[in-house]
Amino acid sequence: MPPLGSLVIVVTPKGKRRLIRVEEGRDWHSTNGVLSMRDVVATDYGREVRTSQDLPIRLYKPGLYDLVKGVKRQTQIIYPKDIAHICLRLGAGPGRRILEAGSGSGALTLALSWFCGPSGEVHSCESREEFHKLARLNLSWAGIGDNVTLYLCDIAEGFPIQGADALFLDVRTPWEYLSHVPQALRSGAQLGFLLPTVEQVSALLRGIERGPYDDVEVCELLLRRWKPLADRLRPDDRMIAHTGFLVFCRLQECSEEFESLKPAGTRERKQEAARQKRLATVKAERGSVSA
Amino acid sequence: MPPLGSLVIVVTPKGKRRLIRVEEGRDWHSTNGVLSMRDVVATDYGREVRTSQDLPIRLYKPGLYDLVKGVKRQTQIIYPKDIAHICLRLGAGPGRRILEAGSGSGALTLALSWFCGPSGEVHSCESREEFHKLARLNLSWAGIGDNVTLYLCDIAEGFPIQGADALFLDVRTPWEYLSHVPQALRSGAQLGFLLPTVEQVSALLRGIERGPYDDVEVCELLLRRWKPLADRLRPDDRMIAHTGFLVFCRLQECSEEFESLKPAGTRERKQEAARQKRLATVKAERGSVSA
Amino acid sequence: MPPLGSLVIVVTPKGKRRLIRVEEGRDWHSTNGVLSMRDVVATDYGREVRTSQDLPIRLYKPGLYDLVKGVKRQTQIIYPKDIAHICLRLGAGPGRRILEAGSGSGALTLALSWFCGPSGEVHSCESREEFHKLARLNLSWAGIGDNVTLYLCDIAEGFPIQGADALFLDVRTPWEYLSHVPQALRSGAQLGFLLPTVEQVSALLRGIERGPYDDVEVCELLLRRWKPLADRLRPDDRMIAHTGFLVFCRLQECSEEFESLKPAGTRERKQEAARQKRLATVKAERGSVSA
Amino acid sequence: MPPLGSLVIVVTPKGKRRLIRVEEGRDWHSTNGVLSMRDVVATDYGREVRTSQDLPIRLYKPGLYDLVKGVKRQTQIIYPKDIAHICLRLGAGPGRRILEAGSGSGALTLALSWFCGPSGEVHSCESREEFHKLARLNLSWAGIGDNVTLYLCDIAEGFPIQGADALFLDVRTPWEYLSHVPQALRSGAQLGFLLPTVEQVSALLRGIERGPYDDVEVCELLLRRWKPLADRLRPDDRMIAHTGFLVFCRLQECSEEFESLKPAGTRERKQEAARQKRLATVKAERGSVSA
């Protein structure tokens, strides 16, 4: 049964669905009568309760998925499909110490906090005060976040912690902060990034290439919903076609010897090598100019 | 640094990658010399270590993602992209009590165990002894699973626990076990299913329709990898196009009144109602026959 | 230059885009002045022409793609992505004789007519008078269709022609008409079908299985648009996720001997064989009842 | 019935499938006996014919789709899914005059030739002699191409014809040839491009932006096959995830006035404007340097 102060999802027969807080004296007014909070706290999740006009209302207990979808947002939030994948790839979980920037609306922060639990830690940096506050508000709204520390800081000056198990960067120019990453993470730690455009992905890959990083993966996740109709089963007419590109890599010592031993046999590698050479030439030229 | 008995990923410059156990006296023989375990335990994750022929080898610490991909399998395992989404949708996490059938190779069990941690519980049922043993073996191999109970049992006779927070069914005919579900779960609990064919999805939807279930969602997740090449960035040529359809719903009291008040205005609903009526007629006829 | 009576696309700087007919005395009224048809017929496609308020307007010549998108519709039309694939798979082209049912809004008819040209023939059947008229109207509007014969007929009584090179069925229950197909097509002809739900695909596959058909393919086409922005290149946020499943096969003599020699080694085939056997048993039982 | 000299597809019960030429004295040797060409020419498409060991063999008539898939290739060919879309978007068809570069293996050339027929024209340029020859060979093999002119030429020096209705560029750096395009096409003509990487798309978009082009569209087509199994219907496990990005635009006079009137209200446009301004500044600076 939903305790006072908790969140609950109420659903009407017409399909209206609201995520509301159970507060004494703040009854919920539907178009078909008032839902008394006294009745709500006496009804189990998964049951029906009735309004003053005898309309049945269903009570769902909000899960992690509902909370993530329910956060107040001022910008694009990270979608649940991406959040789930990020949490798995970063290995969020009890006892783990995860670093994140920026906090944004706090949707990912919330999920990281959920998975890491009381024995874990989530450290989340944000440079814009309005988002810093919004993330705090959303965690507090969800009743989650005892293991979260929110920082109002500019990561251009470095990260506020050391020795994190994993880092997620959801910022516009993540490649600009890569030089601060080694101080903030354990050796071998996992990194993740979310980027909307391909040019950002390219710029990030160029940054990662300079090291000390390895085991790079770029992917995108597509969630295709189907109409849940037995006998007329088919995909939804429309879908979200793009949220962002996910990039993952590891903090890794990269000796020149190891790099030079990588196979250069394939066409891709050869072209890559040529590009690296050009890059080196450019660097050398610039060096001689600035010298 | 990888302790004795732990798993570590070793990576050669040529790109060979192995997930091996660090055991005294069991040195790893690459084509370019022997990697001494004495050297491995003295090297930090994210560093390079050298073989007897002075070849540099990188050491990665296996994360949840690596463990899931590394389980020994006798059948198709659930893919990481689906595991991540299932764990988010079921709200796996510290303190939660998750029920699963069948155990299969234990890949999902492993992830549920990771996320639920010491304060949570995972209960996993399997009717075929070889899979029951395989799941145990894989959990033990990963060094995970203190919070897992594995049951060798046939869920046609009911589930072994009560009051679970969520249930995941990865069996061929999940609709046959729906009648046992209410006893095993808390009211309002979340359910998930994975099914390879559309006919199974239809059959499951017909079962869910009979109640007591609500809030049904059918979806599929597509993971599209990109070649991580700055300047020649593009998707991989091939991808996994199908692993399975995911179905989610909630255990929910469904009064006839609530159901009858659902909007019947759209064409879909009208057709659905006609189908329900036919179904009812068939049931009534069967009833009169069996009477 | 657009001749009188032809169609032209006019585009304003604000991005408004209209497919209009060039008719004397029927000037186009934009929010920024009147576009005189006298000026339009004196301007080449690909040029700009000015309204009475001196606003520049661009003139595009409508191509096949524009015409297909521009047809008046009363139901869902077939999408260009599917039309293109169907025309290639059926081998529409000069000198070919294509049969179609139903005509619907005539979007596919229009494309078939375009590709088949004066030396080809398109025969299109429709049972509902309003669609029959609509298809005629749309062909006439596009100024295409000299090679098209539209039939107002019920294909449950057979097709109106014989010896077609290919057939496309866009009807709700195509499997009900398969028995009439062999009389309408040349031996070896290509067939195509468009179906929105998976249950329809299954029903059609069962019909095709009974022969005389072979070389079956089921697929779906997804068109993902990208924002055409250099430097911020990325996929559109949303896309059409489903229009229909495409099924293709050939009219093919199927001897029992050939069928029995097909490899039965794989699990799929074995299960299939078991199903066929059950089917045969059911048929036999029904036969004995009706005898 | 397949005439001497024509192509035919032979299919064995085991599923072996070959596209062969019917030539006197060149009987086809299967593992189960010899298929006599004398028997083949006496058998209708869509029928079965028997080998010397009495094995039934099916005869399919190759359609456009089979021919496109059957061309000999030395590099990647354009896939049928993309060819179909390109032909629709360019409005290939009887009486149309299409220009193409490069010819590559001639797969698109073949389809353009099919659709344009005797009253149309296809002009295809190729700078590498081996591909020029290969395209000729493939057209001749398919028995198609009376309306095709193949040019061995470098389009860096301009296109060999004028007044084409549409142009398709399948070359590595299409933006380098845009300056020659206006002379080769009718005003208002449609252009198409196929590019494997996003960097190429960006570079092309920057070229198109400089005009005289308009109505730009970037897209990619995904073809997802399903296993054609009634009762176990589901998508194939794997699919082709990437062939190339398609870009389309029109040759269009672009007055500065029209461009300046385009709405600049959205965030995208504003950012774009800023970029253009930077671009202009850079150009101006370079101009002053070179002056």
Residue range A89-113, pLDDT digits in tens: 999 999 999 999 999 999 999 999 9
**D243 three-class SS:** coil
Q: pLDDT at residue D46 above 60?
A: yes
Radius of gyration of chain B measured on its C-alpha atoms: 24
pLDDT of residue A290: 41
Which residue does chain B place closest to A1, by CA atoms? B187
One DSSP character per residue, B70-100 reads: HS--SSPPPPHHHHHHHHHHHT--TT-EEEE
On whether any CB of chain A is under 8 Å from the CB of C228, the answer is: no
Mean pLDDT of C18-34: 93
Residues of D in contact with C271 (CB under 8 A): 232
pLDDT of residue B77: 83
pLDDT of residue B272: 61
Cβ-defined contact of B61 to A232 (cutoff 8 Å): no
- pLDDT cut 90: percent of chain A above it: 86
On whether any CB of chain C is under 8 Å from the CB of A228, the answer is: no
Q: How far is it, in rounded angstroms, from Cα A140 to Cα A117?
A: 15
Q: How far is A239 from chain C (nearest CA, A)?
A: 5
Which residue does chain B place closest to C197, by CA atoms? B198
Q: How far is B107 from chain C (nearest CA, A)?
A: 24
Run of H or E residues at C161:
none
On whether any CB of chain D is under 8 Å from the CB of B199, the answer is: yes
One DSSP character per residue, chain A reads: -PPTT-EEEEE-TT--EEEEE--TT--EEETTEEE-HHHHHTS-TTSEEE-TT--EEEEE---HHHHHHHS--SSPPPPHHHHHHHHHHHT--TT-EEEEE--TTSHHHHHHHHHHTTTSEEEEEESSHHHHHHHHHHHHHHT--TTEEEEE--GGG--S-S-EEEEEE-SS-GGGGGGGHHHHEEEEEEEEEEESSHHHHHHHHHHHHTTTEEEEEEEEEEEEEEE--TTS-EE-SEEE--S-EEEEEEE----HHHHHHS---SHHHHHHHHHHHHHHHHHHHHHHHH-
Q: How far is it, in rounded angstroms, from Cα A132 to Cα A111?
A: 17
Q: What is the DSSP letter of D76?
A: P
Task: Please tell me the number of Cα atoms within 13 Å of B101 on its side-chain side.
Answer: 27
pLDDT of residue D113: 98
**C115 three-class SS:** helix
Q: How far is B26 from chain D (nearest CA, A)?
A: 38
Mean pLDDT of D40-56: 97
pLDDT of residue C277: 66
Q: pLDDT at residue A287 above 90?
A: no
Residues of D in contact with A198 (CB under 8 A): 198, 202
Q: pLDDT at residue C288 above 60?
A: no
Contact A122, A112 (CB under 8 A): yes
Mean pLDDT of D261-290: 60
**Burial level of C281, CB count in 10 A (0-12/13-18/19+)?**
exposed
Q: pLDDT at residue A31 above 50?
A: yes
C54-77, pLDDT tens digit by residue? 999 999 999 999 999 999 988 788
Q: Give the list of residues 6+ apart from residue D257 with CB closer than 8 angstroms, or none.
A: C56
- pLDDT cut 70: percent of chain A above it: 90
Measure the CA angle with vertex B221, ends B219 and B226; round to 5°: 160
CA D140: distance to chain centroid?
17
Among the residue ranges B151-160, B178-187, B269-278, C124-133, the one predicted with the least confidence is B269-278
pLDDT of residue D288: 47
Contact C118, D95 (CB under 8 A): no
On whether any CB of chain D is under 8 Å from the CB of A198, the answer is: yes
On whether any CB of chain B is under 8 Å from the CB of D234, the answer is: yes
Mean pLDDT of D145-163: 98
Residues of C in contact with B202 (CB under 8 A): 198-199
Q: How far is B218 from chain C (nearest CA, A)?
A: 14
Q: Pick the residue of C89, C115, C261 with the most D CBs within 10 A to test the interface with D by mutation.
A: C115
Residues of D in contact with C228 (CB under 8 A): 205, 216-218, 247
On whether any CB of chain D is under 8 Å from the CB of A268, the answer is: no
On whether any CB of chain B is under 8 Å from the CB of A6, the answer is: no
* Average pLDDT score, chain B: 93
Kindly tell me the number of DSSP H helices and DSSP E strands found in chain B. 9, 15
Phi/psi-derived region of residue B82, left when phi > 0, alpha when psi is between -120 and 50, beta in every other case: alpha
When CB atoms are compared, the residue of C196, C198, C237 closest to A240 is C237
Q: Which amino acid is at D176?
A: E
On whether any CB of chain C is under 8 Å from the CB of B197, the answer is: no
* Average pLDDT score, chain C: 93
Contact A8, A59 (CB under 8 A): yes
Going by pLDDT thresholds of 50, 70 and 90, the confidence category of residue A284 is: low
Cβ-defined contact of A235 to C224 (cutoff 8 Å): no
On whether any CB of chain A is under 8 Å from the CB of D239, the answer is: no
C89-105, pLDDT tens digit by residue? 999 999 999 999 999 99
pLDDT of residue D290: 40
Q: How far is B38 from chain A (nearest CA, A)?
A: 19
Q: Pick the residue of C172, C198, C224, C234 with the most B CBs within 10 A to test the interface with B by mutation.
A: C198
Q: pLDDT at residue D285 above 90?
A: no
C229-254, pLDDT tens digit by residue? 999 999 999 999 999 999 999 999 99
Number of B–D residue contacts, CB under 8 Å: 51
Dihedral over alpha carbons D225, D229, D230, D233 (to 10 degrees): -50
Structural tokens at position A50: 């009735």
pLDDT of residue C32: 86
pLDDT of residue B240: 98
pLDDT of residue C281: 64
Residues in chain C: 291
Contact D41, D3 (CB under 8 A): yes
Q: How far is it, in rounded angstroms, from Cα A12 to Cα D269?
A: 42
pLDDT of residue D291: 34
Subunit partners of chain A (3 or more CB pairs within 8 A): B, C, D
When CB atoms are compared, the residue of B197, B224, B236 closest to D234 is B197
Structural tokens at position D205: 């978009």
pLDDT of residue D109: 98
Candidates A101, A113, A105; CA nearest to A72 is A105
Subunit partners of chain B (3 or more CB pairs within 8 A): A, C, D
Mean pLDDT of B125-141: 97
Measure the CA angle with vertex A270, ends A266 and A273; round to 5°: 140
Going by pLDDT thresholds of 50, 70 and 90, the confidence category of residue A77 is: confident
The phi, psi pair for D241, rounded to 5°, reads: -95, -15
Q: What is the DSSP letter of B41?
A: H
D198-223, pLDDT tens digit by residue? 999 999 999 999 999 999 999 999 99
On whether any CB of chain C is under 8 Å from the CB of D280, the answer is: no
Number of A–B residue contacts, CB under 8 Å: 252
Contact D175, D206 (CB under 8 A): yes
Contact B219, B246 (CB under 8 A): yes
Which residue does chain A place closest to C242, by CA atoms? A237
Which residue does chain C place closest to B197, by CA atoms? C198
A38-53, pLDDT tens digit by residue? 999 999 999 999 999 9
Q: How far is it, in rounded angstroms, from Cα A228 to Cα B218?
A: 6
Contact B177, B142 (CB under 8 A): no
- pLDDT cut 70: percent of chain D above it: 90
On whether any CB of chain C is under 8 Å from the CB of A279, the answer is: no
Going by pLDDT thresholds of 50, 70 and 90, the confidence category of residue B74 is: confident
Q: Give the list of residues 6+ apart from residue B205 with CB closer than 8 angstroms, or none.
A: A228, A229, A230, A233, B216, B218, B247
Whole-prediction pTM value?
A: 0.92
Q: How far is it, in rounded angstroms, from Cα D97 to Cα A12?
A: 61
On whether any CB of chain B is under 8 Å from the CB of D202, the answer is: no
Q: pLDDT at residue D115 above 70?
A: yes
Among the residue ranges A269-273, D52-56, D251-255, the one predicted with the least confidence is A269-273
On whether any CB of chain B is under 8 Å from the CB of D273, the answer is: no
* Average pLDDT score, chain D: 93
Q: How far is it, in rounded angstroms, from Cα A216 to Cα A141?
A: 36
Q: How far is it, in rounded angstroms, from Cα A47 to Cα A37?
A: 14
Q: How far is it, in rounded angstroms, from Cα C125 to Cα C102?
A: 5
Residues of D in contact with A199 (CB under 8 A): 202
Report in angstroms the alpha-carbon separations of B236 from A183, D152, D185.
33, 33, 35
When CB atoms are compared, the residue of A196, A225, A233 closest to C199 is A233
Going by pLDDT thresholds of 50, 70 and 90, the confidence category of residue B274 is: low
Contact A46, B189 (CB under 8 A): yes
Q: How far is A238 from chain C (nearest CA, A)?
A: 5
pLDDT of residue C291: 34
